[in-house]
Amino acid sequence: MFTLPGEYIGTQEEYESGFGTYKNSEEGEIRSSNTGKLKLDKKKHKAEVRAKTKIPKMQAPGTVILGKVTRTRDQVLEIEPAPFESKKFTFIPNEKQAILHISNIKDDYIDDIKTQYRIGDIVRAKITGVDETTVELATDQGNLGTIKAYCSKCRKPMEKIGRDKVKCSQCGEKTTRKTAKDYREGNIK
């Protein structure tokens, strides 16, 4: 059976969570974290979702992804990863929550997370950790950071005017952002 990320597979009593699946402990279920063929090993009571492509690897630490900031909290940003295709692989986000902690934004001390990113910003980030429910991201490298930031006042895209500084060409608002080296020059969809 062809299975998509997030799809229900069975209960934790029925199956053990194998490759390409995860446990939803609250509900006591096993769900797919992968796109591919569902294999149910009745003897070992193990569920697996294997893909023919290299998709599953792409959720692993080291992968650089693009995402949109959907929520800013005190210590953490919530980011919605976007699907993308490169020469080597297709990246399809799974159902997990992608987060960027304030300490992984950049090497310098940050007082307020909103001085670095705002809701709607497009961010290039590296996956640093994956667990049952969460994908952890970091942007503490030169090639990482926002590649397109939006003015929090008028929602227009902002221009880079210096290292980690941006300006809105519409309303003139100047502010700080952790910008990637190729801000608004790189591959942006």
Which residues make up the interface to Zn ion (CB under 5 A)? 151, 153-154, 168, 170-171, 173
Per the CB < 8 A criterion, the answer to whether 66 and 127 are in contact is no
Please, which residue, 53 or 170, has the CB nearer to Zn ion? 170
- Least CB distance to Zn ion at residue 129 (A): 35
Q: Which is nearer to Zn ion, 38 or 69 (CB)?
A: 69
Minimum gap (Å) between residue 172 Cβ and Zn ion: 7
Of 7 and 173, CB closest to Zn ion: 173
Name the phi and psi angles at 124, rounded to 5: -95, 125
| Rounded least distance, CB 144 to Zn ion, Å | 24
User: First-to-last CA distance in the chain?
Assistant: 32
Output 91 or 183, the one with its CB closest to Zn ion: 183
Q: How far is the CB of 48 from Zn ion (least distance, A)?
A: 49
Residue whose structure tokens are 């996956």: 127
